[in-house]
Structure 1
Amino acid sequence: MARLNLKAKEIRALGYEEGPVVSIAMQVMEKHYKHYTKEAALDILKNILSAPNTFANNDVLCKIANELMEEVPEEKSQIELPENGLHYNVFGADFIEEAAIRQMNGAARLPVTVAGALMPDAHAGYGLPIGGVLATDNAVIPYAVGVDIGCRMCLSIYDIDVRDLTRKEPFLVQALRKSTLFGTGREFEQGTEHEVLDSPLFNDLHILTQLQAKAARQLGSSGSGNHFVEFGEVVIEEADAVLQVPAGKYLGILSHSGSRGLGATVANHYTQVARQKRLLPSAAQNLSWLSLDEQEGIEYWLAMNLAGDYAKACHDVIHQKLSKQLGRKPLRIVENHHNFAWKEIHEGREVIVHRKGATPAGKDVLGIIPGSMTAPGYIVKGKGEPASIASASHGAGRKFSRSHAATSTTHSALQAELRKHHVTLLSGGLDEAPFAYKDIDAVMAAQKQLVNTIGKFYPRIVKMDGAGAANWKPTRKTPEEGE
């Protein structure tokens, strides 16, 4: 017998308003009335809508009825925000745009805000600025996490002679082409099996039930924009007890991507739910929050953590494929989220720490802070600085918008920059040219209080989305120029 499969538009057609009740209705009916016909299930939903009070004592249908009874009589009023918010610390203020400051000022005015900080790579985003860190009291803000939930860095370090980056470049180029896939909406023809796809949440949360198959086909792929996979040279100047890699030069693989369509769908859905529950002034609507004591907040927290696990799984698959191509296992893997929310202790109390484009930098916590396609990335160890809520930047940060970068940069200028830094770019657009980014060295200098540098990664063979820069190769060093 076919299982019941309802669509949101079919429930809304009965008169249900857009909101969490639609997802709850689908979840309840498909779980407890899975062998009913669609017509019979819709009749039940119609009856609940017409008289929700009569279903209040039904052990199953009360979940739907309670949502309707709460929504019908309640007339929500706009939440007024104070003129001035809590003080927050700014690192690298000299090169942070005013728009990012304004957005952070708005976040500091929220009634749930406990503390905040702005990282030196900060620039304007949606809701919380990218590079913004926000601690809240028992509340989670979907757009303070970001659309690309769990976007993260992953570095694999191999005990392989770095001269292979030149000697075996054609092989490494083919390995990248064979093992990676980039682009918005792109999927592999065949889905990949992974334990993350077996999570019961794909059945328990309706927003996820329709995403499982797509998630399987996108597992191990990367998005567009600044997502990348690259081979490069890892330099460890001095051995570190936490990193546990001897001083020296190593071949490395660095990747940057997130949770693909799964994370974007979760973020957009629960942002709309939050905006309906918390009516904020128009300038602050994308900062609407969900309490972790309410059903929607619990749902988002579970879905967010699954998206984070999925993002990690994508990196795992990419690095496993490339390790197989190399025929070697890595000496060390260093990785971290930078679009996520965590339960942490700050100044003696439990808070929800949102890091939107910010790297966790707790005491002795390892992380990767990339530069650009030509600038080095930094391997760092956190100092656990309370002033930044134990956080650091997630990269160099954009200096120019994508549109400005694409129109103000030429292909010849980009090629010259690639040659200067001995980088082969397999694919990538002008919007990601190095000129679009802040000086990573200046950004790192602005956060010496937050992290220690214990190594660097120098890009050599880079793959991103876009075919506009395919096969741009550097001019090789002559023997006289040295290593």
Structure 2
Amino acid sequence: MAKLKLRGKDLIDIGYPQNKSISIAIAAMLKHYKREPKEKVLRMLKEVLHAPEQFKQDGIFGKIAETLTDVKKTEFRKLNANRAPFTIFGENEIESSAKDQLYTALKLPVSKAGALMPDAHHGYGLPIGGVLATENAVIPYGVGVDIGCRMCLSVYDIKPSFIEGHKDKYVNILEKQTRFGMSEVHGRPNDHEIFERSEFKDIPFVKKLKDKAYKQLGTSGGGNHFVEFGIIEVTSQDDVLKIPPGQYVGVLSHSGSRGLGANIAKQYTYLAMKQTPLPKEAKHLAWLDLNTHDGQEYWLAMNLAGDYASACHHDIHKRIAKELGARPLAIVENHHNFAWKEIIDGEELIVHRKGATPAQKNVLGIIPGSMTAPGYIVKGKGNPLSLSSASHGAGRVLSRSEAKRTLTRSDLKKVLNDYGVTLLGAGMDEAPMAYKDITKVMANQTELIDVIGMFMPKIVRMDKG
């Protein structure tokens, strides 16, 4: 069958107004119905024209319907003269460029409040460690590229001495059951209910990403992502964690939504930058109005990516648990690079946490250090000054390029030996010396969280680097 030929005049002839609805409709039809008869396509477009409200939630026709009912001129958006209220934790340990990024974000017309965590450093859009509350608007780069990136910790009632006594076994488990980077996948991906989600059917852009997401299930990204065995010490009895004080073996993983999240971030950042153009210093903070089709679609896609990231972790931990022949006593999980609808001072706002951990009252989380530094099991205090947030790790003190340029393999080997850590993979950009002192970071957020346990890495698996 011949490829569809559709012109603006065809749509004008059936009653379409001479505005951007025509170009949007033609693009959508050529993308999704390019092999359909022209008469059928025009009939569908006529139905949308006559009853656009009925099509606003449709994955293909929703944007056409929106332009037919709510024609707005895209305007350059100016920043406010004054910043929204904010608090910085551990200010003396944070580079000025990260603070400047927060200051710019606080001047957005949609910004209502913000905070900066003590592990903060420079990023794109919001700084890493930045928290921003907005009114009815979501900022794709305020969420980040690795949507829903998270920590997951499994606690096992296994004696810590087993790690050293059976090191080869534990090394083999990580090498056999974990995959990292762009190309590594499991030979047999597991099925998961996440792939039955309606977003994979209803959002055309997301539908195209399903096959890759299926192949990457249970894998981890490159960079600072890891899966590691370590020793857990629960330091106090806690009603939420419900594990007696003592030492345990733990499996800790850090990764996100893989190609699914990265592609969603790229697509909707592009749309946001078209719809809310901003001054140069703020261009990566472009937002999507949640009353628009694209805003609603991103919100659904973002939540799907976050749940997919969780599914990846659960798959990793399930594989390792099977190899260990044991069931975990508990699993603790938390995510960053996400946006939540939360009530702030009696008003529902969109709270972005880019490299920041949710720390609502009595909510558990994990804050890792580096490959040789301790991580912490924490419980949130719900501090309103941080918008109920805490750091997501130690934070970088050297950029990736600086670390590669200034650190050596011999430096890394010495540190690993000093701490008794076995490293599988990783580049010099992930050397412990590239990170801030986690003990200082924790000291700067005692108002935000309580520490109820620690995790000391012993066998660390990362991408090849």
| CA deviations over 1:26-52 (Å, ceiling 9, x no partner) | 69x85xx7xxx715269837996xxx8
Give the alignment of 1:137-176 within 5 angstroms: 137-176=135-174
Contact 1:55-1:62 at 8 Å conserved across structures: no
Give the alignment of 1:188-337 within 5 angstroms: 188-337=186-335
Residues in 2 aligned to 1:457 and 1:23: alpha-carbon distance in whole angstroms: 56
1:25 paired residue among 20, 25, 28: 28
| CA deviations over 1:404-440 (Å, ceiling 9, x no partner) | 0011110001000000000000111100000000000
Residues in 2 aligned to 1:289 and 1:149: alpha-carbon distance in whole angstroms: 16
Partner of 1:460: 458
Residues in 2 aligned to 1:279 and 1:369: alpha-carbon distance in whole angstroms: 35
Equivalent residue pairs, number: 451
Partner of 1:378: 376
Give the TM-score of the pair, scaled to structure 1: 0.87
Contact 2:189-2:218 at 8 Å conserved across structures: no
Residues in 2 aligned to 1:98 and 1:350: alpha-carbon distance in whole angstroms: 31
Contact 2:66-2:293 at 8 Å conserved across structures: no
Deviation of 1:185 after TM superposition, in Å, equals 4.4
1:136 paired residue among 134, 149, 174: 134
Q: Aligned pair in 2 of structure 1 residues 18, 255: CA closer, same or farther (>3 Å)?
A: farther
Partner of 2:88: 90
Residues in 2 aligned to 1:412 and 1:198: alpha-carbon distance in whole angstroms: 48
Deviation of 1:138 after TM superposition, in Å, equals 1.3
Residues in 2 aligned to 1:320 and 1:314: alpha-carbon distance in whole angstroms: 10
Query: Gaps (5+ residues) in structure 1?
Result: 468-483
Contact 1:21-1:67 at 8 Å conserved across structures: no
Contact 1:79-1:278 at 8 Å conserved across structures: yes
SS at match of 1:378: strand
SS at match of 2:37: helix
What residue identity is the alignment partner of 2:35?
A: K
Residues in 2 aligned to 1:426 and 1:66: alpha-carbon distance in whole angstroms: 52
Q: Aligned pair in 2 of structure 1 residues 354, 209: CA closer, same or farther (>3 Å)?
A: same
Residues in 1 aligned to 2:21 and 2:402: alpha-carbon distance in whole angstroms: 37
Q: Aligned pair in 2 of structure 1 residues 82, 54: CA closer, same or farther (>3 Å)?
A: closer
Partner of 1:392: 390
Q: Quick check: 1:365 aligned with 2:363? A: yes
Residues in 1 aligned to 2:446 and 2:149: alpha-carbon distance in whole angstroms: 24
Contact 2:21-2:68 at 8 Å conserved across structures: no
Q: Aligned pair in 2 of structure 1 residues 277, 405: CA closer, same or farther (>3 Å)?
A: same
Shifted more, 312-321 versus 275-284: the winner is 275-284
Deviation of 1:25 after TM superposition, in Å, equals 2.5
Q: Aligned pair in 2 of structure 1 residues 18, 177: CA closer, same or farther (>3 Å)?
A: farther
Shifted more, 94-103 versus 80-89: the winner is 80-89
Give the TM-score of the pair, scaled to structure 2: 0.90
Residues in 2 aligned to 1:351 and 1:23: alpha-carbon distance in whole angstroms: 36
Q: Aligned pair in 2 of structure 1 residues 217, 19: CA closer, same or farther (>3 Å)?
A: farther
Partner of 1:38: 35
1:443 paired residue among 427, 430, 441: 441
Q: Aligned pair in 2 of structure 1 residues 95, 65: CA closer, same or farther (>3 Å)?
A: closer
SS at match of 1:38: coil
Query: Gaps (5+ residues) in structure 2?
Result: 12-18
Shifted more, 275-284 versus 74-83: the winner is 74-83
Q: Aligned pair in 2 of structure 1 residues 453, 79: CA closer, same or farther (>3 Å)?
A: same
Residues in 2 aligned to 1:163 and 1:208: alpha-carbon distance in whole angstroms: 46
What residue identity is the alignment partner of 1:257?
A: S
Shifted more, 419-428 versus 178-187: the winner is 178-187
What residue identity is the alignment partner of 2:359?
A: A
Deviation of 1:20 after TM superposition, in Å, equals 11
